[in-house]
Amino acid sequence: MKIIKTIEKVKKLIKESKEKNLSIGFVPTMGYLHDGHISLVKRAKKENDLVVVSIFVNPLQFGPNEDYERYPRDIESDIKILKKNGCDILFLPENKELYKEQLVIINIIELSEKLCGLSRPTHFQGVLTVVAKLFNIITPSRSYFGEKDYQQLLIIKKMVDDLNFDTKIVPCPIVREKDGLAMSSRNSYLSPDERKKSTILYRSLLKGKEIIKKTGDIENAKNVIKDMIESVNPTKIDYIEIYDEKNLKEINEKTKYCRIFLAVFFGKTRLIDNMRVKIK
């Protein structure tokens, strides 16, 4: 595995690889890797000649008083994990390499104005800006994103379509712990008591799915989910929403699949999760 820290060097290596007609699978991450990330790397390895992973904790996507400074980092562990799981190139830029004087940001309307966008209003600007930069640097054949950040996935797909990026976005399923908690680097923040309480998220999603499939009653599903989550006394429920998964709009007679979306604080830790539900 090659570890490259500069844009110039990684672009040169990518150019040489493309001259050999090698396909490139790209997995952008913020590091502190877990099995969810590794599932993306393995999928990319299976479908491409070359796998590039980036690790960059992107300051643009953190708002004031969020956890940029304390976001978990363990680059030595990440390197070992990537070497063991088939990564060919690790792109590891520093802030000053990626952001020399950033005067251009990318914004998106509608899709960013609900769910996580309400409580983190500048978050998706930061995500889109760094992802656009990485796409231009790596020029991947395929790019891999997990469905846990489903709103982010839709937003990135829309950016790729609207701005004509030449990469295919490959959605990958949520990877969960044995008790159902969606894997996340932020799970490491949880105290033992918070970790125990957090399992309610998956159980409430399953119950909401059951209600929707049996009765189609969206409001009842939301109320039952809310009652279940409140029963463990979380610090705060940020949102419980159920939308058409294609566009995050209200469910209507044309909706085939909806998703239940949750964001809940346990202590200072904000966890998100979602679940697909077939309506028709």
Amino acid occupying residue 175: V
3-class state of residue 183 by DSSP:
coil
Sheet (strand 89-91) strand order: 2-4, 89-91, 50-55, 24-29, 142-146, 168-172
Active site residues: 37
Each of the 280 residues of the chain gets a pLDDT tens digit; together they read: 999 999 999 999 999 999 999 999 999 999 999 999 999 999 999 999 999 999 999 999 999 989 999 999 999 999 999 999 999 999 999 999 999 888 899 999 999 999 999 999 999 999 999 999 999 999 999 999 999 999 999 999 999 999 999 999 999 999 999 999 999 999 999 999 999 999 999 999 999 999 999 999 999 999 999 999 999 999 999 999 999 999 999 999 999 999 999 999 999 999 999 999 998 6
237 phi/psi in degrees, rounded to 5 = -95, 115
155 phi/psi in degrees, rounded to 5 = -65, -40
- Residue 280, pLDDT score: 65
Rg (CA), the chain: 19
Q: How far apart are the first and last CA of the chain?
A: 46
Q: Are 57 and 33 in contact (CB under 8 A)?
A: no
Q: Are 43 and 170 in contact (CB under 8 A)?
A: yes
- Residue 244, pLDDT score: 97
Q: Which domains are present in the chain?
A: 2-172 (3.40.50.620), 185-274 (3.30.1300.10)
Q: Are 61 and 132 in contact (CB under 8 A)?
A: no
CA–CA gap between residue 257 and residue 182 (Å, rounded): 20
